[in-house]
């Protein structure tokens, strides 16, 4: 499977700043061409203790009606179509329950303490941590980062929705800190994968002086454009995660609207998903 990747006019500065981070072009991701079209991350796939996947908008239940494998209830589709697709995600990842988030660009982090009641459950938060086998955690995005986290020692996973507001609030550090507190995780053991999202080619923030902390300016690639992948790497590394334990899909959503929903690229309300769970 080959995608466009990102515009070489503004390549990621990750190799310059964080040389051990794995920045993966489309051909280095592990693609499954069965319905729905999806991929997994190479490093995560080495671990038998987790199921994970990033779902594209291609080849889904009801695609002939909607034009894609949309996982959002806010896209104006029949609810039954979205529910069917969510169950498809649940079954594809071999999860008994699928936990969704009502994402509000907050830094709220939920920790699951028991098996959810029902096959589809939703919490109002932007990150969920789980130590429970058979429960899948789903992030839904359309330019923001879906960040999947796994601690193979503590046997815990997390799914994080991280847009620019989440980055400003440093939600990634909060999740790592919560895993340390709740499960005695050692950040050096934690593995992280970042899904398709706005690349440095398309992460334009004209009002950045008002919304971004000064530290973000280190990751400006040209006037008003930022490498938000690099920002997330920086925040994760500051929280104790090792560079070599971070892998990023170098697929810009705005540059690859044939594969992923992009709010900036399409102004459409659809969302694709990324899921992780213990097995």
Q: Say what the pLDDT of residue 2 is.
A: 34
Q: Say what the pLDDT of residue 4 is.
A: 44
Domains of the chain and any CATH numbers: 14-278 (3.60.140.10)
Q: Say what the pLDDT of residue 115 is.
A: 86
Q: Say what the pLDDT of residue 10 is.
A: 63
Beta strands (DSSP E) in 108-253 are 109-111, 120-123, 127-130, 135-141, 145-151, 156-162, 191-194, 220-222, 225-226, 246-249
Q: Say what the pLDDT of residue 66 is.
A: 54
Q: Say what the pLDDT of residue 198 is.
A: 98
User: What is the value of pTM for the model shown?
Assistant: 0.94
Q: Which residues pair with 274 in a beta bridge?
A: 54, 139
- Containing 238, the helix (H) or strand (E) segment is helix 228-238
Residue 26: closest CA among 196, 251, 201, 262:
251
Q: Which residues pair with 53 in a beta bridge?
A: 275
- pLDDT per residue, tens digit, the chain (279 aa), is 333 444 545 689 999 999 999 999 999 999 998 889 999 999 999 999 999 999 999 864 445 545 689 999 988 889 999 999 999 999 999 999 999 999 999 999 999 999 888 899 999 999 999 999 999 999 999 999 999 999 999 999 999 999 999 999 999 999 999 999 999 999 999 999 999 999 999 999 999 999 999 999 999 999 999 999 999 999 999 999 999 999 999 999 999 999 999 999 998 889 999 999 999
For residues 243 and 132, what is the distance between their CA atoms, to the nearest angstrom? 27
Spacing of C-alpha 229 from chain mean position? 11
DSSP conformational letter for 204: B
Q: Which residues pair with 162 in a beta bridge?
A: 145
């Amino acid at each position: 499977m080959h995608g466009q990747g990102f515009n070489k006019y503004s390549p990621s500065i990750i190799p310059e700043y964080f040389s051990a981070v794995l920045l993966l072009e489309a051909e280095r991701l592990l693609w499954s061409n069965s319905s729905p079209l999806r991929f997994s991350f190479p490093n995560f796939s080495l671990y038998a203790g987790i199921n994970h996947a990033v779902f594209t908008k291609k080849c889904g239940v009801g695609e002939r009606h909607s034009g894609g494998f949309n996982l959002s209830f806010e896209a104006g589709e029949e609810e039954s179509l979205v529910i069917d697709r969510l169950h498809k995600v649940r079954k594809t990842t071999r999860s008994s329950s699928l936990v969704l988030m009502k994402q509000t660009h907050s830094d709220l982090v939920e920790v699951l303490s028991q098996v959810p009641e029902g096959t589809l459950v939703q919490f109002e938060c932007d990150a969920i941590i789980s130590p429970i086998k058979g429960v899948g955690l789903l992030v839904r995005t359309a330019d923001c980062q879906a960040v999947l986290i796994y601690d193979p020692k503590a046997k815990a996973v997390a799914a994080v929705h991280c847009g620019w507001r989440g980055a400003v609030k440093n939600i990634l550090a909060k999740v790592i800190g919560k895993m340390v507190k709740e499960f005695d995780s050692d950040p050096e053991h934690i593995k992280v994968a970042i899904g398709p999202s706005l690349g440095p080619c398309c992460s334009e923030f004209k009002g950045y002086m008002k919304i971004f902390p000064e530290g973000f300016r280190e990751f400006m690639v040209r006037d008003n454009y930022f490498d938000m992948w690099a920002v997330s790497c920086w925040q994760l590394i500051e929280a104790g995660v090792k560079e070599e334990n971070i892998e990023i899909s170098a697929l810009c959503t705005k540059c690859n609207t044939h594969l992923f929903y992009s709010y900036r690229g399409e102004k459409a309300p659809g969302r694709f998903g990324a899921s992780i769970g213990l097995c």
